[in-house]
């Protein structure tokens, strides 16, 4: 899973830029609204909403923005929008598979913009099912590394809660589980005194495509173009950037 998370780290660095930060805030707010509408606006009784709020706070989304999102979710505000979840599949350069998760109030606009973003970056939209079989839905909990905390300590805290594996990803630990176990894993972490950055269900690749520096740059350009779209909520890929390539790219930043 290293490539998956190393890309996530690269993504977090990019998100520090102001333009990316605005897009990130919008996505996190949308997550809160949808979770609140789906499972109720009370975080105490809605674990998905609780985790959406936690992720927003960890990414420094202002509390006023979070409160407004909760009000829209509960129907207190009249400016709420009904979002539809749509998944698109595609191929980036080098045969790298991408899953594009959209939350949109206009299906035609979302489809058109995704298609254009792919075609402008030497990528193609794929038929439903042609890419998704290479991914599995998994609960993913990210834990920031604390001084002296080992991978084994994290594993022992979450093993009985349904965790399947713990991966050391440099700046954080990534815990994988079945989707239904993500709340139990997160709760076990909290009970053991560990803080966490995010807990959510993601699409994790079961097979990966390793790329060289040129290939990595092309695929990251596609992902950036897709993530710039307002309707795109998440982009998952089976991109694997080897350590040596990642170091070379980071040296140029």
Helix (H, G, I), strand (E, B) or coil at 104: strand
> What CATH fold (topology level) applies to the domain 136-205?
Alpha-Beta Plaits (3.30.70)
Residue range 234-244: mean pLDDT, rounded: 92
Query: pLDDT tens digits, residue range 8-34?
Result: 545 545 555 666 788 889 999 999 999
Are the CB atoms for 55 and 200 separated by under 8 Å? yes
User: What proportion of the chain, given as a percentage, has pLDDT over 90?
Assistant: 72
User: Which one, of 144, 237, 199, 204, lies nearest residue 31 by Cα?
Assistant: 199
pLDDT grade, residue 2 (50/70/90)?
very low
Q: What is the largest CA-CA distance in the chain?
A: 52
DSSP state of 242: -
φ, ψ dihedrals at 50, nearest 5°: -55, -45
Query: pLDDT tens digits, residue range 222-236?
Result: 999 999 999 999 999
Query: pLDDT tens digits, residue range 106-148?
Result: 999 999 999 999 999 999 999 999 999 999 999 999 998 876 7
Length of the chain equals: 253
- How far is 253 from 249, CA to CA, in rounded Å? 7
pLDDT grade, residue 252 (50/70/90)?
confident
Residue range 39-66: mean pLDDT, rounded: 93
In the CATH scheme, what is the homologous superfamily, with its name and number, of domain 84-133+207-243?
YebC, transcriptional regulation domain (3.30.70.980)
In the CATH scheme, what is the homologous superfamily, with its name and number, of domain 2-74?
Integrase, N-terminal zinc-binding domain (1.10.10.200)
- How far is 14 from 24, CA to CA, in rounded Å? 11
Q: What is the pTM of this model?
A: 0.85
Query: pLDDT tens digits, residue range 157-216?
Result: 999 999 999 988 878 899 999 999 999 999 999 999 998 999 999 999 998 999 999 999
Residue range 37-52: mean pLDDT, rounded: 92
- Asked whether the domain spanning 84-133+207-243 has the same topology as the one spanning 2-74, the reply is no
Say yes or no to pLDDT of 3 above 50.
Answer: no
The domain spans of the chain are 2-74, 84-133+207-243, 136-205
Taken in order 20, 22, 23, 29, the sign of the CA dihedral is positive
């Amino acid at each position: 899973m290293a490539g998956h998370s190393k890309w996530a780290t690269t993504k977090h660095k990019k998100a520090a830029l102001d333009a990316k930060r605005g897009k990130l805030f919008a996505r996190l707010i949308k997550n809160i609204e949808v979770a609140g509408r789906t499972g109720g606006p009370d975080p105490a009784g809605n674990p998905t909403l609780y985790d959406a709020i936690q992720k927003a706070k960890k990414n420094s989304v202002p509390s006023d923005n979070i409160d407004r999102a909760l009000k829209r979710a509960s129907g207190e505000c009249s400016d709420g929008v009904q979002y539809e979840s749509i998944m698109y599949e595609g191929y980036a350069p080098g045969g790298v598979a991408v899953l594009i998760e959209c939350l949109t109030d206009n299906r035609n606009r979302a489809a058109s913009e995704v298609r254009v973003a792919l075609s402008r970056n030497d990528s193609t939209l794929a038929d439903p099912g042609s890419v998704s079989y290479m991914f599995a839905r998994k609960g993913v909990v990210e834990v920031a590394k604390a001084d002296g905390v080992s991978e084994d300590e994290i594993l022992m805290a979450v093993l009985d809660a349904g965790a399947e594996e713990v991966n050391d990803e440099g700046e954080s630990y990534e815990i994988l589980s079945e989707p239904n176990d993500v709340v139990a894993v997160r709760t076990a972490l909290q009970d053991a005194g560990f803080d966490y950055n995010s807990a959510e269900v993601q699409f994790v690749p079961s097979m990966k495509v390793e790329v060289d520096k040129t290939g990595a740059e092309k695929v990251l350009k596609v992902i950036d173009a897709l993530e710039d779209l307002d309707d795109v909520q998440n982009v998952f890929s089976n991109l694997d950037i080897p350590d040596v390539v990642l170091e070379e790219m980071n040296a140029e930043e």
